[in-house]
Amino acid sequence: MKKQVDGKLRQEQKTSQPVTEWTGPYLEFRQVSKIYQMGDVEIRALNKTSFTIERGELVVILGQSGAGKTTALNILGGMDRVTSGSFQMEGQEITALKERELIRYRREKIGFVFQFYNLIQNLTALENVELAVQLCKDYLDPQTALEQVGLGDRKNNFPSQLSGGEQQRVAIARAIAKKPKLLLCDEPTGALDYVTGKQILRLLEKMCRKERMTVVIVTHNSAIAPMADKVIHFKNGRVEDIKLNRQPKSIDELEW
Ligand SMILES: Nc1ncnc2c1ncn2[C@@H]1O[C@H](COP(=O)(O)OP(=O)(O)OP(=O)(O)O)[C@@H](O)[C@H]1O
Ligand SMILES: [Mg+2]
């Protein structure tokens, strides 16, 4: 009897211990370089880039073509590795993860909208989304995710039967259905017309403000920047400028 009581007490003591919370930045790039070797030529896609992103922040990454935006996003998403420097999530060194751990990081934490969609061609829109959530514990119903991007009635179409903008929206549905902690979007409105583009930005904003996801949007379109909490400007593989918007604008106020 006494043993049982002791056991319970220990249990209570265990669970009532203060959990040590990480108080540093949610994501941190410190002096990250990425060099691609093409024969004798070295391409410096990222050159000692440093920035931080806080949990729940809506971040826009701007920069010209070739500035290193996709490279940075791929590293954030655990899809590519740094050549040198440090990338940490909540103090955990992601650059030190082994391949299996990196796969887990991608699966559990990341939703990724690729610049060129990367849908599986022989699966329908619905099946593409279903596949993505297969290994998730907590996820959005794939049909609902497609409805949120305005494609509920196109679920049985294959990617080749959809326009570029529609494929882009399937890719967005696939990423948000995973309910990721970190949603990374590479030119999510690149293939969309003005009205659909705004609709998608509203959805990404909702994911950030209501679902508490950290959202990073890469774009050429500087008109999108005012919707962000933080704007990181890339130039020639370097971070040229970081701006904070105290009062991010609503999507309705954006014009391009
Ligand atoms: N796999 C690769 N092999 C060689 N060079 C690469 C590779 N990926 C990217 N690069 C080079 O690295 C630089 C940065 O590329 P990145 O794709 O990050 O640019 P970006 O800012 O996303 O451009 P865009 O706006 O055109 O998508 C470019 O000069 C590009 O050619
Ligand atoms: Mg790119």
Give, using CA atoms, the residue closest to atom 25 of ligand 1. Answer: 65
Q: With a threshold of 0.85, does the pTM exceed it?
A: yes
The answer to whether residue 92 scores a pLDDT higher than 70 is yes
pLDDT tens string 52-65:
999 999 999 999 99
Percent of the chain whose pLDDT exceeds 70 = 93
How many Cβ atoms sit within 10 Å of the Cβ of residue 120?
A: 13
Centre of ligand 2 from the C-alpha of residue 177, in Å? 23
Contact 171, 160 (CB under 8 A): no
Measured from CB, residues less than 6 Å from any atom of ligand 1 are 36, 38, 43, 45, 63, 65-71, 115, 220
Which ligand sits nearest to residue 49's alpha carbon?
A: 1
Tens-digit pLDDT profile for residues 186-228: 999 988 999 999 999 999 999 999 999 999 999 999 999 999 9
Mean pLDDT of the chain: 92
Residue 16 is predicted with a pLDDT of 58
Compute the average pLDDT of residues 73-83: 97
Residue that is written with structure tokens 């705004």 in the block: 198
Q: Which residue has the tokens 């990338």?
A: 87
Q: Which domains does the chain carry?
A: 24-250 (3.40.50.300)
Average pLDDT over residues 131-159: 96
Q: For ligand 2, a single-atom ion, which residues have Cβ within 5 Å?
A: 70
